[in-house]
């Protein structure tokens, strides 16, 4: 067994959720992070049962967020949708709902306004999250995705949001650290230490390829790109993160390979990184 989660985006073209759960068992992964479309295709109750029966940990449920919208009615709909996801997360045993917060409102140039909508959106789902026992992980996305996917783009910015929403650091609101989105940040080390164990709610692994041909669907396998993943794992450990790392590779290349091969390579490439994450050398 290897203390590693499969984010099911990694094998989404090859496997449905049931096959991904079986794949985790077959390849000795201890955890899974499922996406909503796959959970709803299998059924929330069936998903909960299958994951439990397989003895897998759930690292997070993907994904909530997408708060900015043009009208109050649409913003309210987004909030209701997130509330539904919180109850689904609780049902499938996910301790964390991952938030990809959303970008600019279509046709708008009001970035500050979009960021305020994100803050207001998260604030209005905190009660449900607290009573469901589900934590909210803001995932900062690379700034090139500010317009269309998330206007929360640095760890500093995400943590400032956490400070405002949860000033007591209760652990209800925190961050998911995705190597792909944050590796370039000169403040990464400082901000990881600032986050600390209460706010670090996930560690997503992949690599940054040179050149990167597509921002969303050309992520690299760990070791094939330029990110110092062992170094990042050291920083996460020193900052107090003791959770399970998760492989999350959106890649036209790896989606074209047999999923069992992908799992083998993931396992092999993740092992030395996990050594750094779990064992001080």
Which chain residues interact with Zn ion by CB under 5 A? 178, 204, 248
Sheet holding 2-7, edge to edge: 57-58, 29-33, 2-7, 245-247, 200-205, 173-178, 135-138, 96-100, 61-65
Nearer to Zn ion, 37 or 127 (CB): 37
Question: Nearest distance from residue 205's CB to Zn ion, in Å?
Answer: 9
Question: Nearest distance from residue 177's CB to Zn ion, in Å?
Answer: 8
Nearer to Zn ion, 166 or 178 (CB): 178
Question: Nearest distance from residue 248's CB to Zn ion, in Å?
Answer: 5
Cβ proximity of 51 and 91 under 8 Å: no
Nearer to Zn ion, 75 or 181 (CB): 181
Nearer to Zn ion, 135 or 204 (CB): 204
Residue 56, token pair as written in the block: 């897998």
Torsions phi, psi for 248 (to 5 deg): -135, 95
Nearer to Zn ion, 62 or 105 (CB): 62
What DSSP assignment string belongs to 234-272?
A: HHHHHTT--S-EEE---BHHHHTS-HHHHHHHHHHHHHH
Question: Nearest distance from residue 102's CB to Zn ion, in Å?
Answer: 15
Nearer to Zn ion, 166 or 248 (CB): 248
Question: Nearest distance from residue 98's CB to Zn ion, in Å?
Answer: 7
> Count of CB atoms within 10 A of residue 76's CB?
13
Question: Nearest distance from residue 60's CB to Zn ion, in Å?
Answer: 9
Residues with Cβ within 8 Å of 20's Cβ and at least 6 positions away in sequence, in order, are: 6, 8, 11, 32, 34, 38
Q: Report in angstroms the alpha-carbon separations of 272 from 128, 179, 265.
A: 38, 16, 12
What number of CA atoms fall less than 13 Å from residue 17's CA on the CB side? 27
């Amino acid at each position: 067994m290897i203390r590693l989660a499969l984010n099911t985006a990694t094998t989404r073209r090859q496997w449905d959720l049931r096959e991904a759960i079986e794949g985790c068992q077959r390849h000795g992964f201890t955890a899974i992070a499922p996406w909503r479309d796959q959970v709803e295709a299998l059924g929330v109750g069936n998903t909960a049962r299958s994951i439990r029966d397989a003895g897998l940990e759930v690292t997070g449920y993907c994904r909530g967020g997408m708060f900015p919208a043009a009208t109050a009615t649409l913003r309210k709909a987004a909030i209701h949708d997130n509330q539904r996801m919180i109850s689904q997360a609780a049902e499938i045993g996910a301790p964390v709902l991952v938030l990809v917060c959303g970008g600019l409102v279509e046709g708008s140039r009001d970035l500050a306004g979009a960021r305020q909508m994100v803050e207001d959106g998260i604030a209005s789902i905190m009660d449900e999250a607290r009573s469901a026992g589900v934590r909210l992980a803001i995932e900062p996305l690379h700034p090139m995705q500010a317009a269309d996917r998330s206007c929360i783009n640095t760890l500093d910015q995400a943590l400032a949001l956490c400070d405002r929403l949860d000033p007591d650091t209760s652990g209800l609101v925190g961050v998911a650290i995705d190597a792909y989105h944050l590796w370039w940040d000169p403040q990464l080390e400082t901000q990881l230490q600032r986050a600390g164990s209460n706010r670090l709610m996930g560690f997503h692994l992949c690599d940054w390829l040179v050149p990167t041909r597509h921002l969303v669907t050309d992520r690299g396998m760990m070791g094939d790109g330029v990110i110092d993943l062992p170094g990042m794992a050291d920083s996460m450990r020193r900052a107090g993160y003791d959770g399970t790392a998760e492989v999350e590779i959106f890649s036209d290349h790896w989606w074209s390979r047999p999923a069992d091969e992908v799992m083998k390579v993931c396992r092999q490439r993740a092992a030395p990184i996990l050594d750094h994450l779990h064992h001080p050398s």
